[in-house]
Amino acid sequence: MKVALYLRVSTARQAEKDLSIPDQRNQLERWSKDRGWNVVAEYVEPGASATDDRRPQFQRMMDDAARPDRPFEAVLVHSFSRFFRDSFQFEMHRRSLEKNGVALISITQTVSQDPSGQMFRQLCSMFDEYQSRETAKHVLRAMKENARLGFWNGSQAPYGYKAMTVEVRADAVKKKLEINPVEAEVVQEVFTLCRNGKGIRGIADHLNRKGLTYRRKGRKWTSGLVHQVLTREAYAGTHYFNRTDVRLNRNKDKSEWVAFPTPIIVDPEIFSAVQKLLEARRPTRVAPRIVTGPTLLTGLARCADCGGGMTIRTGKGGRYRYYTCNNRVNEGATSCKGRSIPMPVLDGIVMDSLEERIFAPERLEALLRGLLDRARNKTEVNASKAKDLRRKLREVEGRIERLYAALADGTVGDTDMFRRSLSQVEGEREEALRMIAALEKHREVPRHLLTKSNIARFANVARARLRDENASLRKGYMRHLVSRVEVGDREIRISGPHASLADGVLDSGSGAAGVPSFVSGWWARQDSNLRPDRYERSALTS
């Protein structure tokens, strides 16, 4: 009889030590020779789990078994656990072999073809699955403890870091993350581009045009890789282990996550701002046509009566375009009395108002004066917080010294208890250091940069951008500066954050020529609401 051998070990470490594969091969070949069977194929799977079928050699074996020429009549394994450690998958693939006239034979577990033999085979499979799950449970527990101690689990570090060996305990290699200077510089550039209004695809294109590749493999940047970088919490100082259930392809409950500190690449405040920006751009929250379409105020214009968004309607075969209350269109007059305003009229009102009332140097200076006062107050609060954190840090370091002193004096009886206590206290120290660093990086808005020349320069740049021929660019700048446009019968109210204006002036003072990003979602104060004099009732149709 022609047979194929399937050889497998679970971990790469077993494969490297070359212990199990040769032993399986010798036993299977000797067993076949004793029966006069001919070994015609061999499939070797080094370092692959048997809990699923994502195994290249296993898939090749199953494909060969289904060939019309039937290259072999049986698959030999050392034990059924080598074939599968999932009872359902085991039976499904065994029956697939059986349909193709190929038997599955274990040389250490003799099974007859009668009902009692089938029951025994299924019991063996169920026990293998149970044993696999128990092993996985204990391995995960050890890995979670490893993470709590601040060590890195896994081989490849996140982009921007490198995993460095810090100690070896018995056979266990302990690694910690360190910053990779070259990759960290790219990470910071990605966050800067995002804050300056560049989309994820645009960032990927920018990096590829510069000839930058993802790691050393020469892999081009994609939108998926850029999004992965922009959302990785490790850059802000904290990595979470045990976050995902790989088998079910979903996130675990947050109570099961294990957090440990990582070297900071991106300031936590910048990271938080980028997450809010990504959330605002998320397609499920803002439709792609709103973000990228040519219509200037889509997603910004709102009906003052019902708060609903204003959508585009056309007339005369598309010759005329209007902003119209969407609730009135979809739900009728019972929802809102509704209003329509020609698109060129509303676009013109908003753009003219921004240019004349907001970008006037005197108006900008008045708006920024209040922002400076608030920034100064926040700086004082942060200084007080940093002082409290330094006091806490001194207390924590004193506790660490006392723990080591107790260890040196020989008064520590329970080493496990000592290790857990030390790990907890060191975690508190790292958290205090991280928070102090974040507070110290938050600087007061430099008043000397808010000069009249910088304010005038920013105003000129912003005016030019709002009149740019590129509709997408024009719309992007509008979304940076304005968060909401409320259209009423006699009044149009334009709202936007003061912070975006301040950042723009500071960037102008440093030589940049752009409008920065901002965190949307809060309203400007009453004194910044605009009431354009030219807005007349005749411009509206009810």
**Rounded average pLDDT over 65-84:** 89
pLDDT band at 298 (very low <50, low <70, confident <90, very high): confident
CA distance 429 to 423: 10
Within 8 A by CB and 6+ apart from 279, the residues are: 285
CA distance 5 to 28: 7
| Residue 331 clears pLDDT 90, i.e. is over it | no
pLDDT band at 381 (very low <50, low <70, confident <90, very high): low
CA distance 365 to 502: 10
Q: Are 110 and 96 in contact (CB under 8 A)?
A: no
| Residue 526 clears pLDDT 50, i.e. is over it | no
Q: pTM, whole model, 2 decimals? A: 0.45
Give the residue, 128 or 519, on which the prediction is more confident. Answer: 128
Q: Are 5 and 28 in contact (CB under 8 A)?
A: yes
CA distance 208 to 272: 26
| Residue 42 clears pLDDT 60, i.e. is over it | yes
The secondary structure of 37-71, three-state, reads: CEEEEEEEECCCCCCCCCCHHHHHHHHHHCCCCCC
pLDDT in tens, 212-245: 888 866 788 888 899 999 999 999 988 888 777 7
| Residue 519 clears pLDDT 70, i.e. is over it | no
**Strand pairing class (74-77; 103-106):** parallel
**Rounded average pLDDT over 185-192:** 92
User: What separation in angstroms does the CA of 514 have from each of 130, 460, 503, 504?
Assistant: 60, 11, 10, 7
229 CB-contact burial (10 Å; exposed 0-12 / middle 13-18 / buried 19+) = buried
pLDDT in tens, 436-480: 776 665 555 555 556 667 667 767 777 777 777 677 767 777 777
| Residue 159 clears pLDDT 60, i.e. is over it | yes
Strands (E) across 131-261 are located at 161-169, 172-179, 238-241, 244-245, 250-251, 258-261
Q: Are 303 and 327 in contact (CB under 8 A)?
A: yes
For the CA atoms of 270, 272, 277, 282, the dihedral, rounded to the nearest 10 degrees, stands at 140
**Residue 538 has what pLDDT?**
40
